[in-house]
Structure 1
Amino acid sequence: MFIVVFAYFIAGIFEVQKEVPGLLTQLTKNIPTKILDRNGNVVSEIFQKRTSTLRLKDYPEDMVSILLNIEDQKFFSHSGIDYFAILRAITKNIITFRYKQGASTITQQLARIIIDDRRKSITRKIREAQLAFALESILSKEEILETYMNHVYLGHGAFGFGEGIKFYFRKNPQELSREEILLLASLPSAPNKYSPLKNPEDSYKRILSILSMFRNRGIYPGLQKEKFLSIYHSFSTRSPNETVFGVREDIAPYVTEHVRNILSQIEGDKNIYESGGYTVETTLDRNMQEMIGPMVRSYLAKSVRSGKIQKRLIRKTPDTVEERSIKQLFSDVSLSNELLWEADFTESDKENGIQAAVVCVEPKTGQILFLHGGEEFNSKNQFNRAIQMRRQTGSSIKAVLYASAIDSGVIQAGTKILDAPLYYRGGGGKEWSPDNLGGTYDGEISLRTALIKSKNTAAVQVAEKLGYYGIETYFTKYFFPDPEEKKHRFRGDLSLALGTLEISPLEMASAFTSFMNEGNVKKPYLIKKISNARGITIYQANELDEFKLKLPKDRQVIRPDTAEVMISLLKDSGRASGVRNGGYTGEVVGKTGTTNDYKDAWFVGARPELSMSIWIGYDNPKYGMGSSGLGGALAAPLWGEIVERIDRNQFIVKQKFPVPIHAKPHRICLLTGKDAGPQCTATSSELFLSEYPPDGICTEDHKNPNLENRDLMKNLY
């Protein structure tokens, strides 16, 4: 009978050996997916269960030694089972007539973890022993020990010593003292019973028992009871019900949700939590990303308290097409299989507070440096406004419009424009008259002044000069190179000059990179690479349409010399924008934007190393922010605060604006916009495209008294 049972046992080992690779694969389930920044720093994790992923070499030598002395002193000499320990345990259990003592080696404990069966039965012990022998025949001792240390349960939701170290001590492994190591090593046999948070008395008795054992063996004589008491004192301030989920840290929650969506697209029906262990390499900068969320929350709260933002109901009319589409989009992006919003927007909807979207792109590469999609991420506020929302841009689109017109040659930097009331007759005899903010008109002004003062009348005239075909050509390059996308989103009427097209904050930040990159726009992306738990690459940058923008990898939207002209013009626009109110004192190429009824406040600003778009407003377009809800009063100061903090902490290498090498400088007459003549007293230098120089030399006699009345138009309006 012994021979038959032994043969059956051995046959079982060979059978189990075939199952080991699959069983080990099961262990990778629920391993956290790590989202890394561009420097390899962890930004956040996606998990339902915290499992350690450290290598054996990452653990301190003392941790390995202390653990083996407690759990399996003969680990490196036995073949998976300690027969003497089994005999000792059997004798003890017979004497006491109950199951009082086990004799599991670390290999057996790993087998038990893999089998996931905690019942005290002979059948389980046989299966456990067979798997232990199989593991020893396939894996090295080091691999067994590493796998065990990464998966053994240590209480409070922490699986593995790596997670236990973070949860109990919030340190790196190499920073642990021997006393802290011993306390952790005391947990595997009964993690709940010996938890220093739940049962400090039982935990301390366990520690004293281990210290007595170490004394008898003559090892680690320097361990002191007093140091343990200090550790327990620190634990006394923490809740006994605390878990790893309670200390979950996510400095980029909107990014995490974006990554979760991309993983779901790549893996299809596979449960990304169960498969787990993905490594997602991103373009983010952790230092900058970490500061954005708190800054946005603080800034919005301060703006509401000060009265700068005042929620104003604009109208009580049936939903527009825009509002219905926004509601539908909110429903489509539900990330928790529950509605994020009520079926209808109402005046009393307190969940729909003031929101902000911030996204920053590196011009030379298209890489996203940081991203934040709302006021604060929570179960009712997961809509990522930075990439999923499209809103009217107001005057911020004028930078694109002016660049298009200059590139086509219909206007130049020295062009003079009449700022006066305009009337356009549309279909059905309806008139349309674009108004300037504040209702003021300045008569004949320069293109630079029109951009600085954000004159709507000037922008409409520029659009008129560019013409429908020109508008379509350039806006197609900038935003809608895909025909289907263009068909759904583009319309070529003159109101486009005032920012009536719906564009996302990411698209605006990307558009402004053209000025910093010689007219070239790189396709924006955030995810560089995704590897699965086995280290196999399952995604490389741009293999998917990450943001569903339907864009080519790069595209030339304007000429390099046009980009230089726009830098010159937009520097003054940026200087006058309001970024100074946020503490920023450097140069910026930027443009503010405000939509009707103060529903949207924008500022898009760029430097050689970054292009950042900021939007502030309410999700529900029935609400505005009051008369202070201007792009220059709300969005620009936040841009200034963020970049000032970036510069102060030197999070990014600040680059100088390039010296123009393509555009040609001309000394022009400020009154006529032509090349300055000998009679011109008021002149300035402007950049021009080589094919489109100023329209001749100014020949007017500026001493003529009649010319002193050139400001007559100002007085008329």
Structure 2
Amino acid sequence: MSWFKRIVLFLILSVVLGIAAVGGVYLYVAPTLPDVDSLKTVQLQTPMRIYSQDGQLMSQFGEKRRIPVRYEDVPKQMIDAILATEDARFFEHKGVDPIGVARAAVVLITTGRKAQGASTITMQVARNFFLSREKTYIRKIKEIFLALKIEQLLTKEQILELYLNRSFLGNRAYGVGAAAQVYYGKDLNQLTLAQLAMIAGLPKAPSTINPIRNPQRAESRRRVVLGRMLDVGAITQQQHDEANAQPITGKYHGAEIELDAPYIAEMARDFMVERYGLEPAYTEGYQVYTTVNSDTQRLAQQALRDNVYAYDMRHGYRGPMEVLWQAEAGINPIDPSGDAPAEPLSSEPWSHAQILEKLASIKPIQDLRPAVVMQVNDKDAQVMMADGTLLPLSWEGLNWGRPFITDSRQGPAPSTAADVLAPGNLIWVRQTNERLMLAQVPEVSSAIVALNPEDGAVLSLVGGYNFGQSQYNRVTQAKRQLGSNIKPFIYSAALESDYTLATLVDNAPINEPDSRQGIVWRPKNSPDVYTEPLRVRRGLAQSVNVMSVRTLRHIGIDNAIRKLTEFGFDKGDLPRNESLALGSAVATPMSVANGFAAFPNGGFLVTPYVIERIENSYGQIVYQAEPKIACLECWQALDAQKRQQKQSQQSAEQFAQVGGDAMAFANPTSETAPKDWQQQCLLPAERLAPPVISPQVAFLVKDTLSSVIWGGGDWSKGTGWNGTAWRAAQLIKRKDIGGKTGTTNESRDTWFSGYGPGIVATAWVGFDDHSRQLGRTSWNKYAPQNQIVNAESGAKTAGPAWNQFMNEALKGVPKQLLPLPEGLVTARIDLKSGKLSRRNDSSSKFEYFIAGTEPTEYADSGTVEQPIYEQESDELF
């Protein structure tokens, strides 16, 4: 009995000492333990995602790729695989598994190695959120205490959800949702048992046993996971065998981008970083919805690419990227590195393996793909693609390739395919709807932007041909000379003064230079042709230079600059001389499009914006754009109320003079009070875009911009004339559009800006090197009959991009011919004199006038004017 008592006493003492030891250890580490309450509101580091207005993913920013998933949305087989592999008794223990601890202790005592950590899923959560991964006893003790606290704080499901979303699984993937996307490019619920088991095995060593880094070790680990699932009864033997037999298919998948619009995405990223800071923007799971419509954006991108390809092709072929071999050995004339000495060429064709290795080293650029010429026949060639396939390159796909000499000179058209290509040429090709085409990376630059003229929302924006080559956003950063794109703004100031669309402006040469400039400057028309005085409508529609200069002289440079700044242009970019009338000012495509928006929206200055709303990681809206709206009805209602209030105040003062109660008169009952303007307009005053021109002037300019495309007169009667953008009419074939060309000296910048129902867009084409001219082209017998030749210009160089974009963007959009604003009238005028006409023939037409400005005199005769203009101007001045 004494021995029994001693044993009992020893056990009691051991328990007491054990408890005391545990208590002592807890008291020692307790001050250093983090507060696990933060797990209730944990913010997982989730990347920022940028979406189009219609919900298509455009980009993702952040080092850690994470797609949070809820516990109830995780496939049962994934949960079974995780539990079977990591913690089979997870739903039974209280955070620490005694059996696992005992097993790890036995291994440590017998081998002296920490081969098994005995970590439960709860302990791994504690380590992942609060501790390091170093294998020390003190870390393990902290892990145990934190796990016990976590089990008291959270349910098992909540703990497992944290584990599934927090664990690092290799290749920047955090959580099972991101791992499914990274390794298989699928959502978690789309994975097979074999793929789920692969992911479930990754927490052990995510950087070394993933299917990308080491497929053999990954397969071995998957076998272990499936075996454990079979042992615990989570899968049947048949499921186990079928999954084990599956090949390792994992490969790297980037973020599943649905709309590749990097210039827009970068603008959104800049906005977020400026608003929230770099770290929060990249890690707090913001979802940024832009104003961009995915369909409209794709149309703009395609229009820009097709246009720069067309420009590049008509200026000639600059040769292959590289010559890999040639029939007669020689020196490679093309050195792709740019600084290494040229190497001797082999006369032996490269092997199939060598060619594929070379092609694999070259990344595609937009829709351009590298290829190697294998065979050249009389009128076609055969090329090898990166996947080893051989494709035909037809004569129609390569006969454009006459030699490029300079931007203004091209060599002769080829007679055979051998005039363009040779076996061993490394070239670019692109696939069109009709055929495979020989291609080259364009050197010319371009930009296109489209806005909603009612509120300034960016509908599409393309800042250049390829973001990978240049992140320079030409829409918002490139300030280029405007050319004749400035003329609608100059004429709008004149129409606000005393001009009408029927006012005659002298179209004779200017031989009296403005002495205030200190230089002799004689602006010329382009082409250098002059006529009798022309009406304002025709002068703007045909972009007559001397008429624009005389209009500027009439209104004054100071008034013109004031008006241009009201349209949103930077005063510092507007020269104080007469070249302003011809577009020597500089501006970005964004500011040009924004200025043009005032013509179709009734005369208001909206502010372009690209972020529609921002949601946090819980889907709650934390930012909502509140753009200023162009609302003529609201301004009219507000103006009416102000006039009523002013009239009421004046009446009250008069009433007081005869002894009445002025206070009572000025504050009448609700029955007699002026109607509140906000009963007619739901927008607060601060949400109204400010007016810059009257709705009447806006309509007059807008209608004249339609004449830029459709011209005027009657061709059958000999009075017809073209506007500078007549090519747009041939393609788009609707009368509710309008626009303006712009070309600077020596064709360094070309523009086209215009509107359609619910949209205003600007296209620009030029070289980033401002000293380089866009040049000119000669006739190519293999090009289409409607090919563009001679000097590049706004209508011929930028216009085609605008035409293609608007033609596609407006398909299915009903025609919208807006009614006349109040205060406009029509009168039949004589085309020659601009005076009233009694004749109802081709010598006259109805014209719009602001009420009170219409002519009062009748023309003496109905003489017919002859067309004097049929082609687009080539230069600015």
Q: Could you say which residue in structure 1 is the equivalent of 2:694?
A: 559
| Aligned residue type for 1:472 | I
Q: How does 1:248-327 map to 2 (within 5 A)?
A: 251-267=260-276, 271-272=279-280, 275-290=283-298, 292-293=300-301, 296-297=304-305, 299-307=307-315
Pair 657,4 (structure 1): closer, same or farther in 2 beyond 3 Å: farther
Pair 161,500 (structure 1): closer, same or farther in 2 beyond 3 Å: same
Q: Could you say which residue in structure 1 is the equivalent of 2:788?
A: none
Structure 1: distance between partners of 2:815 and 2:208? 58
How far off is 1:17 after superposition? 6.3
Deviations 1:493-533 (A, max 9, x none): 33212111111111111111112211112111112444666
User: Could you tell me whether the CA contact under 8 Å between 2:615 and 2:623 is conserved in 1?
Assistant: yes
| Aligned residue type for 2:580 | L
1:589 to 715, 732, 738: 738
Q: How does 1:173-252 map to 2 (within 5 A)?
A: 173-221=188-236, 223=239, 225-226=241-242, 229-232=245-248, 234-235=249-250, 238=251, 242=252, 244=254, 251-252=260-261
Pair 42,431 (structure 1): closer, same or farther in 2 beyond 3 Å: same
Q: How does 1:206-605 map to 2 (within 5 A)?
A: 206-221=221-236, 223=239, 225-226=241-242, 229-232=245-248, 234-235=249-250, 238=251, 242=252, 244=254, 251-267=260-276, 271-272=279-280, 275-290=283-298, 292-293=300-301, 296-297=304-305, 299-307=307-315, 353-378=443-468, 381-406=470-495, 408-423=496-511, 424-427=513-516, 430-480=519-569, 486=571, 488-530=572-614, 541=625, 554-575=689-710, 577=725, 580=728, 584-586=732-734, 587-605=736-754
Any idea what SS the aligned residue of 1:613 has?
strand
Any idea what SS the aligned residue of 2:753 has?
strand
Any idea what SS the aligned residue of 2:315 has?
coil
Pair 412,231 (structure 1): closer, same or farther in 2 beyond 3 Å: farther
Structure 2: distance between partners of 1:590 and 1:701? 33
Pair 712,604 (structure 1): closer, same or farther in 2 beyond 3 Å: closer
How far off is 1:188 after superposition? 1.9
User: Could you tell me whether the CA contact under 8 Å between 2:309 and 2:442 is conserved in 1?
Assistant: no
Pair 698,679 (structure 1): closer, same or farther in 2 beyond 3 Å: farther
Structure 2: distance between partners of 1:194 and 1:66? 16
How far off is 1:670 after superposition? 1.8
User: Could you tell me whether the CA contact under 8 Å between 2:268 and 2:290 is conserved in 1?
Assistant: no
Pair 216,642 (structure 1): closer, same or farther in 2 beyond 3 Å: same
Deviations 1:359-390 (A, max 9, x none): 22111111112222223223x62222211222
Structure 2: distance between partners of 1:62 and 1:654? 52
Structure 1: distance between partners of 2:317 and 2:503? 37
Q: Could you say which residue in structure 2 is the equivalent of 1:641?
A: 804
| Aligned residue type for 2:58 | V
Structure 2: distance between partners of 1:409 and 1:298? 42
How far off is 1:393 after superposition? 0.7
Structure 1: distance between partners of 2:112 and 2:732? 78
Q: Could you say which residue in structure 1 is the equivalent of 2:828?
A: 667
Structure 2: distance between partners of 1:59 and 1:657? 54
How far off is 1:446 after superposition? 3.1
Deviations 1:521-579 (A, max 9, x none): 211111244466688877654799xxxxxx99722011112222222211231455266
How far off is 1:618 after superposition? 1.8
| Aligned residue type for 1:367 | A
Unaligned runs of 5+ in 2: 1-16, 319-405, 407-439, 629-685, 711-722, 777-790, 870-877
Pair 383,123 (structure 1): closer, same or farther in 2 beyond 3 Å: same
Pair 74,659 (structure 1): closer, same or farther in 2 beyond 3 Å: farther
1:615 and 2:802 matched: no
Structure 1: distance between partners of 2:838 and 2:452? 42
Any idea what SS the aligned residue of 1:554 has?
coil
Any idea what SS the aligned residue of 1:555 has?
coil
Any idea what SS the aligned residue of 2:228 has?
helix
Structure 1: distance between partners of 2:707 and 2:867? 26
Any idea what SS the aligned residue of 1:623 has?
coil
Structure 2: distance between partners of 1:14 and 1:294? 63
How far off is 1:46 after superposition? 1.5
Q: How does 1:20-31 map to 2 (within 5 A)?
A: 20=36, 28-29=44-45, 31=46
Unaligned runs of 5+ in 1: 311-346, 545-550
Q: Could you say which residue in structure 2 is the equivalent of 1:74?
A: 89
Number of residue pairs matched by the alignment: 646
User: Could you tell me whether the CA contact under 8 Å between 2:826 and 2:847 is conserved in 1?
Assistant: yes
Any idea what SS the aligned residue of 1:210 has?
helix
Pair 526,58 (structure 1): closer, same or farther in 2 beyond 3 Å: farther
Any idea what SS the aligned residue of 1:604 has?
strand
Q: Could you say which residue in structure 1 is the equivalent of 2:163?
A: 148
User: Could you tell me whether the CA contact under 8 Å between 2:455 and 2:627 is conserved in 1?
Assistant: no
| Aligned residue type for 1:554 | A
User: Could you tell me whether the CA contact under 8 Å between 1:672 and 1:698 is conserved in 2?
Assistant: no
Identity %: 28
User: Could you tell me whether the CA contact under 8 Å between 2:286 and 2:614 is conserved in 1?
Assistant: yes
User: Could you tell me whether the CA contact under 8 Å between 1:14 and 1:134 is conserved in 2?
Assistant: no
Pair 360,543 (structure 1): closer, same or farther in 2 beyond 3 Å: closer
Structure 1: distance between partners of 2:750 and 2:98? 75
How far off is 1:65 after superposition? 4.2
Q: Could you say which residue in structure 1 is the equivalent of 2:382?
A: none
Structure 2: distance between partners of 1:666 and 1:224? 87
Pair 429,7 (structure 1): closer, same or farther in 2 beyond 3 Å: closer
Q: TM-score, normalised to structure 2's length?
A: 0.66
Relative CO higher for 1 or 2, CA cutoff 8 Å, sep ≥ 6? 1
Q: How does 1:76-91 map to 2 (within 5 A)?
A: 76-91=91-106
2:35 to 19, 27, 31: 19
Pair 209,613 (structure 1): closer, same or farther in 2 beyond 3 Å: same
Structure 1: distance between partners of 2:852 and 2:32? 79
How far off is 1:99 after superposition? 3.1
Q: Could you say which residue in structure 1 is the equivalent of 2:23?
A: 7
How far off is 1:106 after superposition? 1.9
Structure 1: distance between partners of 2:593 and 2:27? 65
| Aligned residue type for 2:239 | L
After superposing the two structures, state which structure 1 stretch, 568-577 or 248-257, moved more: 248-257
Any idea what SS the aligned residue of 1:126 has?
helix
Q: Could you say which residue in structure 2 is the equivalent of 1:701?
A: 861
Q: Could you say which residue in structure 1 is the equivalent of 2:68?
A: 53
Structure 1: distance between partners of 2:298 and 2:842? 52
Which has the larger Rg? 2
Q: Could you say which residue in structure 2 is the equivalent of 1:331?
A: none
Any idea what SS the aligned residue of 1:687 has?
strand
Q: TM-score, normalised to structure 1's length?
A: 0.80
Structure 2: distance between partners of 1:699 and 1:298? 49
User: Could you tell me whether the CA contact under 8 Å between 1:12 and 1:130 is conserved in 2?
Assistant: no
Q: Could you say which residue in structure 2 is the equivalent of 1:100?
A: 115
Pair 701,524 (structure 1): closer, same or farther in 2 beyond 3 Å: same
Structure 2: distance between partners of 1:582 and 1:712? 19
Structure 2: distance between partners of 1:446 and 1:188? 78
Structure 1: distance between partners of 2:247 and 2:32? 43
Pair 601,568 (structure 1): closer, same or farther in 2 beyond 3 Å: same
1:626 to 761, 775, 781: 775
